[in-house]
Structure 1
Amino acid sequence: MLKLKTYMEQVRECTDIAVYCYPIYDTDKRYYEASDFSDDPWIIINIAKNEIYARHGYIFTDPDLYDFFMGQLWYVPTVEAEDFDDSVFNEYERANLQLVSQLDKH
């Protein structure tokens, strides 16, 4: 996750606590296009994808994702992976999840 911290500080110039207070993308409020991610490294695309799950309390089994989201002030883990139901996603989240899943090629 050091790559993520470096990216946020050097590329997005976010060096304050805001990086921990808000999700990186508004994938629950607007539609994104592939071009919106064209300058982002794969780690940011992967985080964007998993933020969609994190907003709904998904508890990550991947230790890196778990640690990352536990460090976010907005994240409240409430649903075990095996109990998660993706019907909670709104239309923006469904469309954006499909997009970032196609782009997440690491």
Structure 2
Amino acid sequence: MKNNQPKSNKGLIAVMVLIIVVILILSGVVGYMLFGEQLGLTKLFSHETTAPATEEITTAAVTTAEPTTAEPTWEVPDIVGMKANDAYTALNHAGTRFEIKREYSEDVDAEHVISQSPDAGTVIKDSEKVLVIISKGVDQPNTTPPATQPSTGATSPTKKHSSGSSGDYILDGSDKRYVSFNEVTPLSEWEMTIALNEIYARRGRKFSTPPLQEYFSSKSWYKGTISPSDFNEGSLNQYEAANVQTILAVMSERGYR
């Protein structure tokens, strides 16, 4: 019996050690489960499978831009083949600016539109113009064109003019209606100049040209308060803006501008 006692003690010690090891392991597992995340032990025993969330920075990407006023645009009407006067009216109603050129044509009757640029349906900016080519009819080289009457307006600012029911405007009511091409063409250069500028004079624009300022200052309806540099073209209504274009087109055609 004395020989077997040491073996029994060793066996008992081994069992106790095993029990202690198991208890320690269990304690570690329980401790890890309860406190491992708080103590930062998760990173030691686990692998991150989810990438860290990236915070979206929206305030840096979104910028508050200054409001911009887009330039108005207009769709060009189809005027090819129209009579000149009808074409001008169509362009005015569409809101497009235009300039006129004339060419001889054997295929298109006189005073009809040969072509236009840009084409119908094109959207153009308010500052752009439509080029309108008007037929002068068949070229007759042996026919002497009528002489252009010299302008006397620049030296005759006090010349009397009467037109319309009021007798005080070259083109009466040009702020309330569309002026036709036929109303403008019979006018002299000086009368066209007055007709053009009385549209602005109604809006209180002053004039840097002495003859014009003198002319409008003599009118009872004229109240010039806005200097030329401060005048805003946007103050013109749709009729006035269209009529300005009509008068300018005729003046350009006649070589007055």
The bucket for the TM-score relative to the shorter chain is 0.7 to 0.9
The one of 39, 44, 53 aligned to 2:200: 53
- With the length of structure 1 as denominator, give the TM-score of the two structures: 0.79
**TM-align CA RMSD:** 1.7
Residues 16-62 of structure 1, C-alpha deviations (whole Å, 9 max, x = no match)? xx64xx33321101101211122211111110100011001001000
Cross-structure match for 2:189: 42
Q: Aligned pair count?
A: 94
SS at match of 2:193: helix
SS at match of 1:73: coil
1:87-98 superposed matches below 5 A: 87-98=234-245
**Given that residues 178 and 239 in structure 2 are in contact (C-alpha distance below 8 angstroms), is that contact kept between their aligned partners in structure 1?**
yes
Q: Quote the Cα distance in structure 2 between the aligned partners of 1:63 and 1:40.
A: 21
Q: Quote the Cα distance in structure 2 between the aligned partners of 1:81 and 1:51.
A: 14
Q: Is it true that 1:75 corresponds to 2:203 in the alignment?
A: no
Counting aligned pairs with the same residue, the percent is 32
- Identify the structure with the greater strand proportion: 2
What runs of 5+ residues in structure 1 fail to find an aligned partner?
Answer: 13-17
Cross-structure match for 1:23: 169
Q: Quote the Cα distance in structure 2 between the aligned partners of 1:38 and 1:83.
A: 31
Q: Quote the Cα distance in structure 1 between the aligned partners of 2:170 and 2:182.
A: 16
Q: Which one-letter code corresponds to 1:36 in the other structure? A: E
- Return the structure number with greater relative CO, CA threshold 8 A, min gap 6: 1
Pick the structure with greater CA Rg: 2
SS at match of 2:244: helix
SS at match of 1:79: coil
Q: Quote the Cα distance in structure 2 between the aligned partners of 1:80 and 1:54.
A: 11
**Given that residues 185 and 250 in structure 2 are in contact (C-alpha distance below 8 angstroms), is that contact kept between their aligned partners in structure 1?**
no
- Identify the structure with the greater helix proportion: 1
Q: Quote the Cα distance in structure 2 between the aligned partners of 1:23 and 1:40.
A: 13
Q: Which one-letter code corresponds to 1:81 in the other structure? A: P
